[in-house]
Structure 1
């Protein structure tokens, strides 16, 4: 199939897309967590929260997860434009069981929380790929779990984490399916083109080409299967650093370099969208 035809055929709908630091191989200590994401240790809820808002310390959640064998291995905190909310903002924690700490493809439970009302507890399945230190978000958004700040939220979160672990067989089956499919160059470029549309509002004038998005950063990823292509694309999209030329408002060619995606919301949305693209490509290329 010609490249343009593949690209035309591979256009998942907006609805499909919408549904869609340290260590990282060892548990993080509280001192490390506090240094990277001080909001974890917020002493109370932000002053903007009403009396109906139940303050559930993230540290209580972390300790509860630890007691069930889930170790925090990576944490990030969103930037905050309001000075008084800096110690209360949205933060993301990736947990891994002890037997997964050194795995080549480690299963993870991802939890997002905040103490300023910007997020309740949000649980997702994750995968860490050792060869490139990629932290992915995997599985359909239907498998996500959201819990409000009320009642026994910590107990509900731990139950949710266990449910995500139980559902990992479905994710693993999907990944195995991706590994079994070798993509033609046309299909790889179509995937890269769709990924660019996820990352940039004006992908055609982003200055970045689909061939750059699918290009692996290491010898181990010089493969054509869908799973490896997906990982290469995810790494290029999230980590940035790709260079190109774009046309500015005065019709002049200017140099451009893609930025690393650091925001929690944008990272989650892009990872979700990329997983949907990979699932759709699996159907198209099978």
Structure 2
């Protein structure tokens, strides 16, 4: 998921207000569609959808948007808002207080329809994960017709899918990975992040598997997946590689994933790889 951009994000224990959303992701409040859109494009500002979701008990807890290199598109660019529902509290305290969430993705420049994606939030590390596999829904709502009603309906469906994802996380906590499986998982996520450049990056599986907090210590699939996901998304690992002339060693630090598309894509890859590995874990 990828355009390179700076993004702004913030997570609150309390619901975000319109004023906070405006600061974090101004394109939520775009007053019109981008000029490139045709008359068939139904323009409904994202904030109207947010208010419709609020009326149904969904409250925003995080917002971010990407920049655009195309002049004039910044105020219409892609944005992501994560919601919790007032009737769905934390589950699995032993795993770090997991909350089911709904992630809403949209833009007004034609780069995205309204997409509603299953997500979860782990309070132990404020580590949000977008999740998807064959059993979990992702709903796309085109910019046509009664957008708000369709997004609200889809959000209830996806919220149920998010709760299923939490149950899967509970199952993973009971499955132990061998050292070889852990390293293989980390290597696969490394390739998912860097693609063709993966071999050039000097980051070892051990660097992805490093424990950042005591609550993440363990060899079960859930904790391993969290450590690897956090390392891949936040970066910070270091290593050394030789320059092009082969004369000097250069220190390299893994960069965090900053784009919305990149974040979603890598999170989905982590979830999919973990789901595949769960079939072979003890």
Match of 1:124 in 2: 117
- Bigger CA drift: 23-32 or 37-46? 23-32
Displacement after TM superposition at 1:160 (Å): 0.3
- Does structure 2 conserve the Cα–Cα contact (< 8 Å) formed by 1:25 and 1:102? no
- Does structure 2 conserve the Cα–Cα contact (< 8 Å) formed by 1:25 and 1:101? no
What are the Cα deviations for residues 58-78 of structure 1, in whole angstroms up to 9, with x where unaligned? 011000100000000000101
Structure with greater helix percent? 1
- Taking only aligned residues, the RMSD between alpha carbons, in angstroms, comes to 1.5
Match of 1:257 among 247, 253, 256: 253
- Does structure 1 conserve the Cα–Cα contact (< 8 Å) formed by 2:10 and 2:24? no
Match of 2:265 in 1: 269
Match of 2:208 in 1: 213
- 1:116-195 matched pairs, under 5 angstroms: 116-140=109-133, 143-195=137-189
Q: Tell me if 1:69 matches 2:57.
A: yes
SS at match of 2:279: helix
Match of 1:244 in 2: 239
Cα distance between partner residues in 1 of 2:201 and 2:250: 11
Aligned residue pair count? 266
Match of 1:107 in 2: 100
- Does structure 1 conserve the Cα–Cα contact (< 8 Å) formed by 2:175 and 2:221? yes
Q: Tell me if 1:285 matches 2:281.
A: yes
SS at match of 1:167: helix
When normalised by structure 2's length, the TM-score is 0.90
Cα distance between partner residues in 1 of 2:15 and 2:232: 27
What are the Cα deviations for residues 108-167 of structure 1, in whole angstroms up to 9, with x where unaligned? 000100011110001111000001110101232651101100000110010000011223
Q: Tell me if 1:81 matches 2:69.
A: yes
- Does structure 2 conserve the Cα–Cα contact (< 8 Å) formed by 1:120 and 1:149? yes
Cα distance between partner residues in 2 of 1:39 and 1:102: 30
Cα distance between partner residues in 2 of 1:279 and 1:220: 21
What are the Cα deviations for residues 176-209 of structure 1, in whole angstroms up to 9, with x where unaligned? 2211101122211111111111111232320100
Match of 2:224 in 1: 229
